[in-house]
């Protein structure tokens, strides 16, 4: 019965998308070419080929790429070794460049949350993404209240929900266990030290956290990871509240 219902729902969805594609032909967000079919809804096949996955030797803490594909991943590197890391492991499936950068910017600055579906698709091409997120309690890195109001949504949450919806078999749940206590200035132009200082004490636990088991498999979820300072501050806040099983996932690593 449920399967029949699901099949009907999927068929209706396909028809609805078909009509929408006919009225508003899908275009590639990078090159503008009409893109009627393909794995991605908002990238053409040529632009999708430019996506780089982080599948070579990388740091399991900050996502830094360190060597070729024939070398094993490393637990900590020169860039993150002096940070007090409060989570066990991180995964950034893609490199923040080319089409991935364009999709993230479309969500953040061009009111295009629908681009999240393509980021979910790209992330799932990394061989470790699905196992990393399976049965996880995903905690999106929160935005400050006013910034969220201005944008209308939190991009990290939108991407996490797109992954959960696209891959229901992964049983991903999202929870709002963190709140941002102040409006931190943008981290983009800061050095690593400045980023750590800028974000210190910027999060607190929400009342929702009281209902969650302390050993729940939490994945702190963000759109882009640069130095891991923001994700680590989230992890520190959760750890102080007693949560023990903490990992970090960011769609893209800024190299």
Closest CB 79 distance from Zn ion, rounded Å: 5
Count of CB atoms situated within 10 Å of the CB of 147: 14
Q: What are the residue ranges of helices labelled H in 116-191?
A: 116-124, 129-133, 145-151, 155-166
- Tokens, residue 122: 């790209």
Rounded least distance, CB 61 to Zn ion, Å: 5
Q: Which helix (H) or strand (E) holds 107?
A: helix 98-109
The least distance separating Zn ion from the CB of residue 33, rounded to whole angstroms, comes to 5
- Measured N-to-C along each axis, helices 229-240 and 192-199 cross at an angle, to the nearest 10 degrees, of 30
- What is the C-alpha to C-alpha distance for residues 255 and 253, in angstroms, rounded to an integer? 6
Site size toward Zn ion, by CB under 5 A: 13
**Of residues 181-200, those binding Zn ion (CB under 5 A):** none
Q: Shortest Cβ distance from residue 196 to Zn ion (Å)? A: 14
Nearest approach, Cβ of residue 7 and Zn ion (Å): 32
Q: Looking at beta carbons only, is 90 or 156 nearer to Zn ion?
A: 90
**According to the binding rule CB under 5 A, does residue 223 interact with Zn ion?**
no
Judged by CB under 5 A, the chain residues 57 through 96 that form the site for Zn ion are 59, 61-62, 64, 77, 79-80
Q: Which helix (H) or strand (E) holds 205?
A: strand 203-205
**Which of these, 251, 196, 198, 224, lies nearest to 86 by C-alpha position?**
196
Taking the complex as a whole, the smallest distance from the CB of residue 19 to Zn ion amounts, in Å, to 23
Question: What phi and psi, each to the nearest 5 degrees, are found at residue 27?
Answer: -120, 155
Q: Which is nearer to Zn ion, 179 or 195 (CB)?
A: 195
Quick one: 28 or 54, whose CB is closer to Zn ion? 28
Q: Contact at 8 Å (CB) between 120 and 51?
A: no
In this complex, which beta carbon is closest to Zn ion, that of residue 64 or of residue 223?
A: 64
**Looking only at residues 26 through 45 of this chain, which bind Zn ion when binding is defined by CB under 5 A?**
28, 30-31, 33, 44
Backbone angles phi, psi at 179, to 5 degrees: -135, 145
Per-residue binding letters, 151-170, with Zn ion (x by CB under 5 A):
--------------------
Which span (23-31, 87-95, 166-174, 206-214) binds Zn ion, by CB under 5 A? 23-31
Q: Does 47 bind Zn ion (CB under 5 A)?
A: yes
**Which CB, 33 or 145, lies closer to Zn ion?**
33
Residue in 225, 222, 219, 212 with CA at minimum distance from that of residue 245:
219
Residues facing 53 on adjacent strands:
94
Nearer to Zn ion, 76 or 217 (CB): 76
Q: Given the rule CB under 5 A, which residues bind Zn ion?
A: 28, 30-31, 33, 44, 47, 59, 61-62, 64, 77, 79-80
């Amino acid at each position: 019965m449920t399967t029949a219902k699901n099949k009907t729902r999927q068929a209706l969805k396909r028809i609805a998308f078909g009509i929408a594609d006919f009225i508003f032909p899908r275009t590639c967000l990078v090159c503008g070419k009409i893109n009627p079919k393909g794995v991605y809804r908002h990238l053409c096949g040529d632009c999708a080929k430019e996506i780089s996955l982080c599948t070579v030797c990388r740091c399991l803490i900050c996502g830094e790429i360190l060597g070729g594909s024939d070398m094993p991943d490393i637990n900590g590197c020169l860039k993150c070794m002096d940070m007090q890391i409060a989570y066990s492991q991180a995964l950034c499936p893609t490199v923040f460049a080319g089409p991935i950068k364009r999709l993230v910017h479309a969500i953040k600055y061009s009111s295009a949350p629908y681009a999240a579906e393509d980021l979910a698709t790209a992330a799932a091409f990394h061989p470790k993404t699905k196992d990393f997120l399976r049965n996880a309690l995903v905690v999106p890195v929160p935005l400050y209240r006013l910034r969220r109001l201005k944008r209308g949504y939190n991009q990290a949450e939108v991407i996490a929900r797109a992954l959960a919806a696209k891959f229901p078999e992964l049983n991903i749940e999202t929870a709002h266990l963190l709140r941002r206590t102040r409006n931190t200035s943008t981290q983009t132009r800061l050095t690593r030290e400045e980023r750590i200082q800028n974000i210190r004490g910027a999060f607190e636990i929400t009342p929702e956290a009281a209902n969650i088991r302390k050993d729940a498999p939490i994945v702190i979820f963000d759109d882009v990871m640069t130095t891991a300072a923001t994700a680590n501050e989230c992890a520190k806040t959760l750890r102080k509240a007693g949560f023990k099983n903490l990992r970090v996932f960011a769609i893209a690593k800024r190299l």
